[in-house]
Amino acid sequence: MSVCRGNFSLLLYGYGCKKRLVSRFINQAVLSNEGAVVVAYALRKGVSSKRIIQKVAESVLPARQCSKYEPD
């Protein structure tokens, strides 16, 4: 799944635990004045991707740079 919204882009793939997803997200975040491009691993079936994306993005990115992803 790929998400591009506001000043950041996320690419999520694979399966695992939420803790690992958050860890990988933070470790692989590339932050700059232009925003962030992130590769995040280990999205587990049954876990709300919307909630994970919002929670992690709000934690990693400054609030002024963070736009919420709303799924279709």
Query: Can you give the pLDDT at residue 42?
Result: 42
- Whether residue 25 is contained in a domain is answered as yes
Residue in the structure block whose two tokens are 């999520």 = 12
- Whether residue 30 is contained in a domain is answered as yes
DSSP code of residue 46: T
- Whether residue 48 is contained in a domain is answered as yes
- Whether residue 31 is contained in a domain is answered as yes
- Whether residue 37 is contained in a domain is answered as yes
pTM here is 0.29
Count Cβ atoms below 10 Å from residue 4 Cβ, excluding itself: 13
CA end-to-end span of the chain: 13
Residue 56 sits in which domain range?
A: 2-65
The total number of structural domains in the chain stands at 1
DSSP-derived pairing of the beta strands 35-41 and 8-13 = parallel
Instruction: Tell me the pLDDT tens digit for each residue of 12-66.
Output: 544 555 556 555 555 555 444 444 545 444 445 555 666 666 666 666 555 444 4
The sign of the dihedral angle between the CA atoms of 71, 36, 42, 18 is negative
- Whether residue 61 is contained in a domain is answered as yes
Closest CA to 19 of 2, 39, 42, 48: 42
